[in-house]
Amino acid sequence: MKPRTRDNLIYLTVGLSIAALMVVDFFLADSHGRKMWMPSRFAFRVAYTTALTGYFVARETRIVKATYLQVIACVLFASVVQLALGLGFREAIGQLPGISFSAWAVLEVFLLVQLLVRVIQRLK
């Protein structure tokens, strides 16, 4: 199987899983007369920026020919740093408008990726 096809199947599976969870939550809430569960804006933002950070770190460290153990270590380190920054600036991240948060997230992800690529290059 081609890597691109495999990646597309993974994306499709994740998307369908999330959609299925949303549908189940909708029907459960409707049948019990409750309001649907929705995470806060902060939770959404921290979750998807952590996932994006992990993806970009893994991709860029594989480009510089890091071993699988190094890639896993870098992704874990980046995720911890991302979560620490997110929890450290919890109020600010929750209140930022969309464009301002996007600029913050892009800068944060870029700096983390560049830091970890430099670390991997030094370890070689």
CA–CA separation, 55 vs 33, rounded Å? Answer: 38
Residues 14 and 55 in one domain: no
Whole-number pLDDT of residue 80: 92
Length of the chain: 124
- Domain tally, the chain: 2
One-letter amino acid for residue 98 of the chain: G
Q: Which pLDDT tens digit goes with each residue over 21-55?
A: 888 888 888 888 887 777 778 888 888 888 989 88
Question: What tokens appear for 71 in the block?
Answer: 């890639």
- Which residues of the chain fall short of a pLDDT of 70? none
Q: What burial class does residue 56 get, using C-beta atoms within 10 Å of its C-beta: 0-12 exposed, 13-18 middle, 19+ buried?
A: middle
Residues 19 and 69 in one domain: no
Residues 70 and 25 in one domain: no
Residues 78 and 116 in one domain: yes
One-letter amino acid for residue 28 of the chain: L
Question: What tokens appear for 73 in the block?
Answer: 């270590």
